[in-house]
Structure 1
């Protein structure tokens, strides 16, 4: 998902470490119970392995929730935050129940096909669906190719996350919130709440993007991140 912005940021002189979350890419899912704390600690070990003490964390959707968990568990290692398509609050009981239902169904072969066909289009905005069908096709192909157990684990981990408002309120680091104007999963007021909660937060809205701006509008995301990183004088990791 981050390949194009990551390559573009490297070309502009930033150091970028793009991480495979457990269960995806080349990283094994393992046997840990679903928890974003597990993913945050995975990230801490990855930074250690790469000789990185402090980093600017850039996370979209579940990556944003992982960044919040990392901030809670390893605050001294966060040099800055860029959060995309992620809300500060926990899931409502109804939203958590939907995630658990998804996790149950996605591991069953026949329901999985219908479930993914119904839910995947909501990950991108209306403009992407209408004018960039190849992006939606790529997202659908990626989701269909993913390990169902990893998809289920991820949904259960997100459902279990706590409210991060207090954690963000005490984050004395430079922060950027990027929101797609057509995000159907994280509403505009929720992105505004994240930006307003962060003491040094700023909101940038990206036109014609839904829930996956790094894939839908990589140029706009790259420009926003480059400006942010240049302003704070730090590389991205």
Structure 2
């Protein structure tokens, strides 16, 4: 299925991976392969991204969460551990609020339950203006590299190039729609407080998108949480700290599922 909007491999309890903004399920390809020996691993292209190119009327996190629910229903998934990177984490929070009974656990992977600050909203608006004026390709040239910690960029050049390639083929409507949806997403910290399933937080200490103060503001909110802070790591732990982040998810899943 070369043009499929999802990948589904392995067997057993389900781990479901959601990619971030201007990404696709492809960011999880190598990351989740070793996990397929123990779990059923599913990665989805969110609406408007990757191979999921059908026209999108609404890019809101709630609408994307509904899409995830529909896909999991089609795949026969009753319960899962949901792992969301960045924007995928925002979608995961919306999913948790609506369909929490489906969750064995939740992982916010360089993501947040907090809304955008006024400053960040202003930056989103400026980015939308830039993309409208200059196009997606020019935006991706400046967007991707700062997601990686500076000292990791030289050795991860192939991953940076991959991210630029994925982002550049993303429709402009999806880039603009995704930015606006992230800007307008509400505060979901109450969802964390009410979570009756374990929550794993993975943070990069050098992540400009989810700064340490924001990480500390939310990681204590669930009744049952595990927190992993990674030094010399930016926003892209699946590439910058592949072994450590994969092991964290594996141990989290094993702790929950036995």
Q: Please name the residue that 1:217 is paired with.
A: 241
Asked whether the equivalents of residues 192 and 203 of structure 1 are also in contact (C-alpha less than 8 Å), the reply is no
Q: Using a 3 Å threshold, how does the CA distance of structure 1 residues 145 and 31 change in structure 2: closer, same or farther?
A: closer
Q: Using a 3 Å threshold, how does the CA distance of structure 1 residues 207 and 154 change in structure 2: closer, same or farther?
A: same
Structure 2 CA distance for aligned equivalents of residues 67 and 31 of structure 1: 19
Residue in structure 2 matching 1:152, options 176, 179, 189 = 176
- 1:225 positional shift: 0.6
- 1:117 positional shift: 2.4
- 1:84 positional shift: 1.1
Q: Please name the residue that 1:167 is paired with.
A: 191
- 1:219 positional shift: 1.6
Asked whether the equivalents of residues 135 and 172 of structure 2 are also in contact (C-alpha less than 8 Å), the reply is no
CA distances 1:120-169 after superposition (whole Å, capped 9, x unpaired):
21211122214322222222222222222111111111111100111111
Q: TM-score, normalised by structure 1?
A: 0.91
Structure 1 CA distance for aligned equivalents of residues 130 and 54 of structure 2: 19
- 1:113 positional shift: 4.2
Q: Please name the residue that 2:218 is paired with.
A: 194
Residue in structure 2 matching 1:34, options 46, 59, 66 = 59
Is 2:229 aligned against 1:205?
A: yes
The range that moved more, 178-187 or 157-166, is: 178-187
Is 2:146 aligned against 1:122?
A: yes
Gaps of 5+ in 1: none
Asked whether the equivalents of residues 103 and 197 of structure 2 are also in contact (C-alpha less than 8 Å), the reply is yes
Q: TM-score, normalised by structure 2?
A: 0.84
Q: Please name the residue that 1:61 is paired with.
A: 86
- 1:111 positional shift: 5.3
Q: Tell me the matched-pair count.
A: 232
- Secondary structure, aligned partner of 1:197: coil
More strand by share: 2
Gaps of 5+ in 2: 1-26
Q: Which has the higher contact order (CA 8 A, sep 6+)?
A: 1
